[in-house]
Structure 1
Amino acid sequence: MRRFFPHPRMMLVLTVLWLLLVNTFNLGHLLLGALLAWAIVYLCRDFLLHVPKVRKPLGLLLFIGKVFYDIVVANLQVVKLVLGPKSRLKPAFVEVPVAIEDEFVLSTLACIISLTPGTVSASLSSDHKILLVHGLDVPDREELIAAVKSRYETPLLEIFECSRT
């Protein structure tokens, strides 16, 4: 059964999204939405990552709040840097060693870094142990590494049930 319906919850979400998009609830649209949801999930089953269980749901909510706060603060810092003299900028690429082994959690970390203005996840090593991060203003490389590890990596490892190196 799992072979033909690889992600039933995702199919349900896609069917509901279809019904919201067409803004009509009738049997025809429900069946069409279900068929489209099944086709999308079935055709993309090899590309979907396994999402590990959330160990601390409240911790996840607090973490999301912290990320939103960091995004707002980083926006203000980037505005200050961009409007100030360009000679004050110290852009740099920094190699951040990561202890996360789970692909979903690792991609979540990379997305969070890229969402925060002033930093971008540029590359991941082939062994998934080093994340290359570009910072707009990096006066101290070790400080950036410590910030990524303490603010994002450690909480992600605590929130999700995944292995670490």
Structure 2
Amino acid sequence: MIKTKFLSNLLLSLIWVAITGAFTVENFVFGFALSFFLLWITATDRRDNKYFNRIPKLIGFVFFFLYELIKANIEVAYDVITPRHYMEPGIVKIPLDAKSDLEITLLANLITLTPGTLSLDVSDDRKVLYVHAMYVKDREEFVANIKNGFERRLLEITR
């Protein structure tokens, strides 16, 4: 059901681009949003349809990730250009709510993509993710930020 809605959304977006004759990214994004809105209006049961819930969450997640990425880049860059280093490195054990291989892999990669953090390993029982971080002032706060930020938002999209 989700795949067919997504493919319908893409097809309607391409039709929009073809009709308008403007082959730009902005026009495609506008067409995607317009077709999403049209599909949403014509849907018979919006509450049970996961597609209409996931797309806004996915867009929100992209903006959240970009915010975290910019924030981490600024923190690392500031530490590099100042004479005093503010690093407090550590390896942190993060308990996982993510169960599937896809969820764990996505979470580990998102953590690694953020400057100052690196996913090291997943325990054999897949219940713990080990992360090296440059700035660990408080371990519980670091774990809470990962769990309430990346993991919670990722699980909202994948489940």
Q: TM-score, normalised by structure 1?
A: 0.62
**Alignment-derived partner of residue 12 in structure 2:** none
- d(CA) in 2 for partners of 1:127, 1:117: 27
Q: 1:64 to 1:87 in 2, by over 3 A?
A: closer
Shift of the alpha carbon at 1:76? 0.4
**Alignment-derived partner of residue 106 in structure 1:** 104
**Alignment-derived partner of residue 152 in structure 2:** 154
Aligned partner (choices 61, 73, 83) of residue 63 of structure 1: 61
Q: Does 1:79 align with 2:77?
A: yes
- d(CA) in 2 for partners of 1:86, 1:92: 18
Secondary structure of the 2:99 match is coil
**Long gaps (5+) in structure 1:** 1-8, 10-52
Q: Does 1:129 align with 2:131?
A: no
Secondary structure of the 2:136 match is coil
Q: 1:81 to 1:158 in 2, by over 3 A?
A: same
**Alignment-derived partner of residue 44 in structure 1:** none
**Alignment-derived partner of residue 32 in structure 1:** none
Shift of the alpha carbon at 1:87? 4.8
Structure 1 counterpart of 2:130, one-letter code = L
Q: Decide which moves more: 78-87 or 63-72.
A: 78-87
**Alignment-derived partner of residue 119 in structure 1:** 117
Q: Decide which moves more: 55-64 or 99-108.
A: 55-64
Higher helix share: 2
Structure 2 counterpart of 1:116, one-letter code = T
Shift of the alpha carbon at 1:88? 2.8
Runs of 4+ in structure 1 displaced over 4 angstroms? none
Shift of the alpha carbon at 1:92? 0.3
Structure 2 counterpart of 1:80, one-letter code = Y
Aligned residues: 110
**Alignment-derived partner of residue 140 in structure 1:** 138
Percent identity over paired residues: 35
Provide Cα deviations, 1:44-87, integer angstroms capped at 9, x if missing partner: xxxxxxxxx86612101110111011111110000111223455
- d(CA) in 2 for partners of 1:89, 1:138: 8
Shift of the alpha carbon at 1:139? 0.7
Secondary structure of the 1:128 match is coil
Secondary structure of the 1:88 match is coil
CA RMSD of aligned residues (A): 1.8
Q: Decide which moves more: 53-62 or 88-97.
A: 53-62
**Long gaps (5+) in structure 2:** 1-6, 8-49
